[in-house]
Structure 1
Amino acid sequence: MSDDKLEVINPPNTLKSKVGTGGPGAVDLEALERAEQVIAGMTDSYLDWVAEDLKKIEAAYSVLAAATGDRKAEMEAVFQISHDIKGQGGSFGYDLMTAIGNELCRLIEKADKIGSGEVEAVKIHIDSLKLVIAGDMKGQGGKGGEEMLSGLQKVCDKLLN
């Protein structure tokens, strides 16, 4: 080892001086609170929206399951709907919907081929999404939600690795 002494150099943190607090462009906490109240009041509407999305994804799955060939277009239709479900769930207290939607999107993105295993995995994800809503599994869904998500991840890992 060298006998040279180490010198710690802490660079200045100028970010704080660049971010204003208060004044134009600042976050209005009252407006933020009003927005959160509006979103909280839309939870019932979310259940209507997601019910419609679940009908759409089930129909898209039926087309996918009946398709022949590379099935890329059919899988893309499922992806678009699952992406919407993923984006909305957490905003309305259904974090498990977001997590399952994310798993389904990753499966579709990473699948090199679309065979019977991939199609069956899509169905399992869709059934899981429907179960979350039917069981009113808010948040992460507790122990049952944890186990469900873990099982879906294992299915995806098996197919993709």
Structure 2
Amino acid sequence: MSDDSKEGEMARRLARAEAAVADLAKSYVTWASADVEKCAEHLAVARADTDGRASAVRDLYAVAHNIKGQGSSFGFPLMTRIGNSLCRLTRAKRPFGDGDLNIVQAHLDAMRLVLAQNIRGDGGPLGAKLSEKLEGMVVELLGPEPQPEADDLIR
């Protein structure tokens, strides 16, 4: 195969991949909304079953982790930022009180708002204020996120 043929084939493959991502992006709000509702179902279990709360929170974390990972890929970095905050809250291996679950609910409500209003990008000043409020709740509960030492960054 000549270099021109290889380049042409690569360009066609890239175009197909870009088209596939664009098709997925069209339905992002639908399936992200379904993921938020799965989180809400896990939250309802956590509220109802204090003995099974830790398991329900772990299940919620798994779905929230997907939301966090996908938002920016499809033009919704605000979903990624809120998802990151929710993941930090729910990945902690500790008892979860009712107040903690209220903070989870606030994150889910924010995600619903972003999706219902189709807020792409970072949400501007309002998105920043919303994210900072949610992140502040998590910091108040868990303390600041530990920063890596300079030596750790070099390794």
TM-score (norm 1): 0.76
Partner of 2:24: 42
The amino acid of 2:104's aligned partner reads V
Counterpart-to-counterpart distance in 2, 1:53 and 1:128: 14
Listed one character per residue, the Cα deviations across residues 35-79 of structure 1 (whole Å, up to 9, x for unaligned) are 223212222221221121122111111111112137210101111
Partner of 1:106: 88
Answering whether residue 45 of structure 2 is matched by residue 63 of structure 1, we say yes
The equivalences for 1:107-126 within 5 A come to: 107-110=89-92, 112-126=94-108
Partner of 2:66: 84
Counterpart-to-counterpart distance in 1, 2:13 and 2:140: 46
Partner of 1:153: 135
Listed one character per residue, the Cα deviations across residues 5-32 of structure 1 (whole Å, up to 9, x for unaligned) are xxxxxxxxxxxxxxxxxxx9xxx45533
Structure (1 or 2) with the greater helix fraction: 2
Within the candidate set 106, 130, 133, 2:115 is matched to 133
Q: Please identify the structure whose Cα radius of gyration is greater.
A: 1
TM-align CA RMSD: 2.3
Unmatched tracts of structure 1, length 5 or more: 1-23
**1:111–1:160 CA contact under 8 A, matched in 2:** no
Q: Offset of 1:34 from its aligned partner?
A: 3.4
The amino acid of 1:46's aligned partner reads Y
Paired-residue identity, %: 36
TM-score (norm 2): 0.79
**1:89–1:98 CA contact under 8 A, matched in 2:** yes
**2:58–2:91 CA contact under 8 A, matched in 1:** no
Listed one character per residue, the Cα deviations across residues 57-102 of structure 1 (whole Å, up to 9, x for unaligned) are 1111111111213721010111111111112111110111111111
Q: Offset of 1:112 from its aligned partner?
A: 2.6
Counterpart-to-counterpart distance in 2, 1:50 and 1:56: 10
